[in-house]
Structure formats: structure tokens, C-alpha cells
Amino acid sequence: MKREIPILITLVFGVFMIVQFFIPHPAVNDIANRLQNWAIIVISFSYVLGSANILRINGELVYRRAPGWPYKLVLVIAFFTMATPGLILGIAEGSWTNDRLFTFTYVPLASTMYASLAFYIASAAFRAFRVRTWQASVLAITALIVMLGRIPVSHFIWQDLPGIVDWIMGVPNAVAQRGILIGAALGAIATGLKVILGIERSYLGRE
Amino acid sequence: MANTTLQKLEKLDRRWVFLAMAIAVAAPLFFKLGLAPKTTPPVKAFYDYIEQLPPGSRVLCSFDYDPGSKAELNPMCVSVLRHIMLKGHKPVILTLWSTAPALIERNINEVCRDEFGKQYGVDYVYLGLKEGREAVMVAMGKSIRSTFPTDFYGTPLDNLPLMNGVENYSSFALLINVSAGYPGTKEYVQYVTSRFAIPMLSGSSAVSVPEYSAYFQSGQLRGLLTGITGAAEYEALIGKPGLAITAMDGQTMGHFVIIFFILFGNLIFFINRRSKGRA
């Protein structure tokens, strides 16, 4: 029953959510609305569950002095340092939590992490962007054209360059993206049906 | 001797590459180039759509990004708010990203309250964060009031004059999404625009643009701001130069450094390959 009941719940609610899309009746809409609100509440609870899980796993590793435990300890301390003042003092602009912890600590750290990508991209471009095959040549030439065409001085380099970039983005790129999007959408429909019909059960975890 | 030098260059210590990039992006802080980009069609379409709305139109804004993408998307968010205020429209703002509320609140206060002196609740409303990703998007299509019973500050929506008569997406003339990824523009297009018949504009990080330009071509997006370049074009269009235009100098230099290293790396690669072939 541990597996049958969740599969039955998934089947009933999954089929209902598909069917309600085609029945614009207030009563059906009302039920669908309630179900969507349930989903929002469940997703919100997953944050509580995730937080508890992080603390449990990392706390245990710190307690056992497992390899790398000081990093886990930093994570646990950072967790409480951010969460406790936020819960007590609030997070609105002007609060200590917002100004000291978020704006002056978390924001610069996160921005630095993202900005460091520019350095790694430059290094990778030098080391890995070799035109060993004709496919690599097409990729490299396209990348050079798009990079040049996306800067403000592109039309000084060659007047037609921005137009060529627009063509690359609008024709070959759009064609490839549409193929990927349609393929992904069909895959999502197939996976959704497999979950609803109980064929795909990995979301239930192991026996 | 020459061959040895070339082989050494091919294995150039990456710290030299890092240094070159650091100089390239830092130099414009001291020597401003003042580069302004030319307007591209997706950005012009974005600007035109807001321009043609009747003054006082209610606009739903979903700003979905985090501090990591702040450098790229915050100037866009600020410019969108400025344009909306300049045209006298009334934004209702929300976010689906848990690290975004403080960033967005600061922008709203700076632009709507301090720069334009607008009144909260009458001219603009901030709904704050709601977790639930696509479920929130679809739920707003049925009822915004049941999805967001209160605003960011805990005020019931009934106490906010701007929210009078607001039921769902049909109460808005336009949806604007500034997005750094999931959940964002792609999900709004898939779950909201066609189903609830609301026109949508998007501003996104440059890495997402190849994917979203297909939506712009199909008309599912009425306009598209593409990364910091798009934000700079938009700033120029609304006549309020800001951080995005300033950032164009650094980005241009950064692009030149990457292009140089691609060409330099390949040049050394070919010379070395030819030398080995002869040997």
C-alpha cells in the first residue's frame, strides 16, 4: 500500500488537472485553484524539509569529524547567522539583516562568484577553442562574429556586422532552438504521462 | 629556439590570461570610452510596446533574479521601472526567486518612491515573494488574491487602492519579466502568455537570449532585452543613461580580450602543428 496509494493519488490528481484545462466550468476551476494552492504550500514546505535535511546531514558530519568537517561547520554557522536574525528582525529594507547580512555580505559574494566566470571563459577560450575540425571552425567563426557584433563598436568594424549577427540569431539559432524546445516539450509530455499512469515510479524512492 | 618559445606560449600560464582580463575590465573605470550601442529590433519592440500603452495602465512585473546576476539584470530592472513611471503606468511587482525580494525592494524604493515621488498602494504595489514556481504562475491566472493575500509588508490587498478590481492576469495590460533563468521567461511563455492571453515583454541574461529569441520571433514575446547590451540600448532609448551604458566599456574590452586569446591560441596551434608536420 506504501506504493499503491501515492500512485493512485498521482493518477487521480494528474488526470483531473489535465481534464480541468478543457472544462471552463466555475466549479471545476474552483477545485483546480484549490489544488494549485495546495501545490504552492507543499513546495513551500519543501524548503523547511530541505533546511532540516541540510542541518541533519552536515551536523552529523561535523559531529563525526568526517573529512572536510570544518567546511560543514562553516555552512551550519552561516545557516544560523542568516536565518536567525532574519526570523527575528525581518528582512525589509533598512533592517540589520537586510543591510549587513544580505546587501553587504551575500550580494558581493554572489556577484564575485558570477564575475569570476569572465576569467575562466577567457582562459578556456585560449586553451580549448582550437579549430581542429570543420565543425569546430564553424563554431569558432560564429562565436567571433557574434562577440564582435554584440559590442557598441561593431558597426565601425564592418557596417553589416550587426545585421549578420541578427541573421545568425534569427535564422540558424532560432531553427536549432525550436527543434530543442519542441523535442524537450514532447519529452516532458511523455514523462508526465508515464508518471501519471504509474509507469515511471522513481519519484517514490526506493522500496 | 623559436619552436620552444611557441610551445611555451601554447601552455601559457592561465594567470596571465586572468591578468589580461582583469586589466581589460578594470581600465574603463579610469579611462571612460563612453560607448553606446545601436538599438536592435527586439529592444526597440520592447520600448515601443510600453510607449503605446494608455497612461495609467496596470502592468504586472515579475523580477526573477538573484545577487549573482545583479550586475547584468539590475540595470534592466531599474530602467523598466523608470520607463513605467515616466509613462504614468502603475506597476504591480512580484518575484518568484527567494534571494530577490531585498534587491527588488531597493529598486522600487529608489525609483518609484524617491525619484518619482509616487505613492505606495496607489501608484505601485510590491507583492514580494511567493514560492511555488510554475504553480504560482498558473494560480495567478485563476486568482491573484488567493495567491497573494497580502503584499510584501503584510498589508491585505483589499487595503491597497491599486489592487481594487484586480482578479487575475486579465486585470493587467502587460506582463514584464526580468529573468536570470528558472523559473522565469520560459515558464511564463509556456504556462501563462497563451493560456491567459496576456502580452509579455522579457529581459534576460545574455546566456538565455539564444533560447528566448525563438519566442520573440514567434510573437510570444513582444519585446526582448538581451543582457547588459540590451539594457544599455534601453537606457539610451528612455533617455536615462545608467549603469548598463557604463558597463558597456568593460564588456567591450572583455570581448576583445576573449577574441584576442581565441585567435592567438589558434595561431600558435597552427604554427606548432605545421612545425611538427615538417619534423
Domain end among A63, A89, A115:
A89
Touching check for B245 and chain A: CB below 8 Å? no
pLDDT in tens, A88-144: 888 877 888 888 888 899 999 999 998 898 899 889 888 888 888 899 999 889 989
Mean pLDDT of chain A: 89
Query: Which residue of A104, A151, A153, A181 is the best one to mutate when testing the B interface, meaning the one whose CB has the most B CBs within 10 A?
Result: A151
* pLDDT on residue B202: 96
Dihedral-angle region of residue A169 (phi above 0 means left; psi in -120 to 50 means alpha; beta otherwise)? alpha
Residue A111 within a domain = no
* pLDDT on residue B94: 96
Residues A79 and A135 in one domain: no
Residue A175 within a domain = yes
User: What residues have CB less than 8 Å from A137, skipping those under 6 apart?
Assistant: A131
* Contact residues, chain A, for B169 at CB < 8 Å: none
Other Cβ atoms within 10 Å of A60 Cβ, number: 11
* Averaged pLDDT in 10-residue chunks for chain B of 279 residues: 72 90 90 81 95 95 93 94 96 94 93 95 95 91 90 93 93 96 93 93 91 90 93 93 88 90 90 80
Binning pLDDT at 50, 70 and 90, where does residue A24 land?
Answer: confident
Residues A83 and A149 in one domain: no
Inter-chain residue contact B261 with A170, CB threshold 8 Å: no
Q: Give the start-to-end residue ranges of the domains of chain B.
A: 2-31+250-278, 41-241
* pLDDT on residue B180: 93
Residues A84 and A8 in one domain: yes
* Contact residues, chain B, for A45 at CB < 8 Å: none
- Residue A207: pLDDT over 60: no
User: What residues have CB less than 8 Å from B63, skipping those under 6 apart?
Assistant: B73, B77, B93, B94, B95, B100, B103, B104, B107, B177, B178
Q: Of A76 and A201, which is predicted with more confidence? A: A76
HSE at residue A194, side-chain half, CA atoms within 13 A, is 11
Strand, helix or coil for residue A107: helix
* pLDDT on residue A189: 93
Supply the range of the domain harboring residue A163. 129-207
Binning pLDDT at 50, 70 and 90, where does residue A33 land?
Answer: confident
Inter-chain residue contact B259 with A93, CB threshold 8 Å: no
- Residue A1: pLDDT over 80: no
* pLDDT on residue A206: 65
Nearest residue of B to residue A161 by CA position?
Answer: B38
What CA–CA distance (Å, rounded) separates A121 from B251? Answer: 13
Query: Cell 586589466, residue?
Result: B23
State whether the Cα torsion A195-A34-B162-B108 is positive or negative.
negative
Compute the average pLDDT of residues A137-163.
87
Residues A82 and A134 in one domain: no
Residues A2 and A82 in one domain: yes
Residue A116 within a domain = no
Instruction: List A residues 109-138 in contact with B (Cβ-Cβ < 8 A).
Output: 109-111, 113-115, 118-119, 121-123, 125-127, 129-131
Inter-chain residue contact B18 with A119, CB threshold 8 Å: yes
* pLDDT on residue B2: 61
Instruction: List B residues 180-219 in contact with A (Cβ-Cβ < 8 A).
Output: 206, 209-211, 213-214, 217
How many domains in chain A? 2
Q: Which class is B41-241 in CATH?
A: alpha beta
Residue A12 within a domain = yes
One-letter amino acid for residue B120 of the chain:
Y
Query: Which residue of B224, B261, B274 is the best one to mutate when testing the A interface, meaning the one whose CB has the most A CBs within 10 A?
Result: B261
Inter-chain residue contact A177 with B146, CB threshold 8 Å: no
Inter-chain residue contact A181 with B264, CB threshold 8 Å: no
Q: State whether ipTM is beyond 0.95.
A: no
Residue A47 within a domain = yes
HSE at residue B261, side-chain half, CA atoms within 13 A, is 28
The C-alpha R_g of chain B, in whole angstroms, comes to 23
Residues A85 and A133 in one domain: no
* pLDDT on residue A8: 92
Touching check for A102 and chain B: CB below 8 Å? yes
Residues A7 and A80 in one domain: yes
Touching check for B130 and chain A: CB below 8 Å? yes
